[in-house]
Amino acid sequence: MRQKQLLNSPMMYAFGMFAMMIPSQAFSTFYSYYYVEKLGLGIGLATLARTIFLIWDAVNQPMFGYWSDRTNTKYGRRRPWIYVAVPLFMLAFILIFSPPGNMSEIGLFTWFLVALIFYEAVATIIWVNYGALFPELFKGDRLRTKASAVQQGFQILAILLATSLTPILFTAVGFGSMAIIYALVFAVFMLIFLRYTKEDEEASKAPQMKLKEAFKETLKNKPFWLVNISNSFAQTVNGLLSATIPFYAKYVLQIPEEQNTILFAAVFVSVIPLVGVWYLLLRKLDPVKGWRWSFVVYALSVIPLWFGSNLVSGIIAGVIVGFGLAGFLVSPPMVNSRIIDLDVEKTGSRREGVYTAVSGFIVRSSGLISALAFLIVGIIFGYESGDNPGPDPESTFRYLISVVPFILLAISIVISLFVKLERRPEHES
């Protein structure tokens, strides 16, 4: 009986998010710090590597979504892809943080680029298939709000663990051993998620469009584009905050490296209960309206980071930004699921994979926006790397953690005002 209750439950689905977010957060938060600050890779080469990856990602992400939609096995459409990707992801993550020693800068750049392309390609397979399951497993606004809140609660717990424990781990055992530990944790929780997930057999029987038709219908969906472009600017802020905090701690707050854990905990511990607050708020709002308000709150919440000057003020600012972050984490899955539902009603074809993949590509382009912001602000203030921080690294990271995020979120708010979606009848919500 217990097993039946757990099958396709929001908690078991959230285990997949927990599994992916531990290594993903460690990567997104510390890869720049590791390669630029610790290993001395120039910020220009680091940005170039991300740009090359984005070109590759533009091709592989939509194709993985299309192939996932057309997969038909007795184990489902999505789960077989994830099973195959699990060991490959473990290997790729370990390679990212295990470059050979004494490499030239070009050698280090080459290693980073190849490992990055491999890592991101395998991560794409998992994220596309995991995300495509959400609208299939959870029907109606109320259940989706609950599932999204639980999922984001687990995501924040993973972010908290990854960001707070990573400095302790790489200080104690090194980056390579840290990567091995996280890869094993990922495998355990991903396999638990797969064990308690069963796909809807009827969904795989729905008629599928050919490649050209599938992407044509997706790409001409105006609300889909507006929602995900708006999300991409906000997602840039998520990545920028995480990646900038170690620099912010060093150059702005001027606290020891080991206190990074306290600063990260201030942000992400506060988010866990605040996800529950947003769940209660979003239950009472139309999904689009709730999603739009989450941008407004997030934009206001990054302002206090500008005024940080020591550990205490940094902690207070971190707790405030946690409230804005919590809202943005909960609301997007509900809006994207509504878009997919409306598309199914219009076309009769279930294309969660294509929608999730194209959405993922648009949102993941935030990595390039973040890298460009890092590069431009670094050039303005003369920051190149840890070996050459320039004359005013404090201003570099004060702008990157507050002013730039506020501008990006203001863009998200403006775009979101143009999104109009049909409201669902009350009995379907």
Task: Report the C-alpha gap between 111 and 31 in whole angstroms.
Answer: 13
The answer, yes or no, to whether residue 41 has pLDDT greater than 70, is yes
What percentage of the chain has pLDDT greater than the value 70? 89
Q: What is the pLDDT of residue 40?
A: 83
pLDDT at 367 over 80: no
- pLDDT tops 90 at residue 332: no
How much is the pLDDT for 282?
Answer: 81
- What's the CA gap between 194 and 365, in Å, rounded? 28
404 vs 273, more confident: 404
Give the pLDDT score at 210: 66
What is the predicted pLDDT for the residue at 425?
43
| pLDDT tens per residue, range 57-99 | 667 777 777 777 777 777 778 889 999 999 999 999 999 998 8
Question: What number is the average pLDDT over the span 176-184?
Answer: 93
Most confident of 67-76, 287-296, 409-418: 409-418
What was the pLDDT predicted at 204?
A: 59
Q: Which residue has the higher pLDDT, 356 or 113?
A: 113
Phi-psi label, residue 208: left if phi above 0, alpha if psi -120 to 50, beta otherwise: beta
> Of the ranges 10-24, 105-119, 143-157, which one carries the lowest mean pLDDT score?
143-157
Q: For the segment 130-157, what is each residue's pLDDT rounded down to a tens digit?
A: 888 887 777 777 777 788 788 878 887 8
Q: Is the pTM of this model over 0.75?
A: no
Alpha carbons 163 and 329: distance in angstroms, whole number: 17
Instruction: Kindly report the average pLDDT of the chain as a whole number.
Output: 82
- Within 13 Å of residue 122, how many CA atoms lie on the same side as its CB? 22
Q: Residue 115 has which token pair?
A: 């490992």
Query: Among residues of the chain, what percentage have pLDDT more than 90?
Result: 21
Answer yes or no: is pLDDT of 363 > 90: no
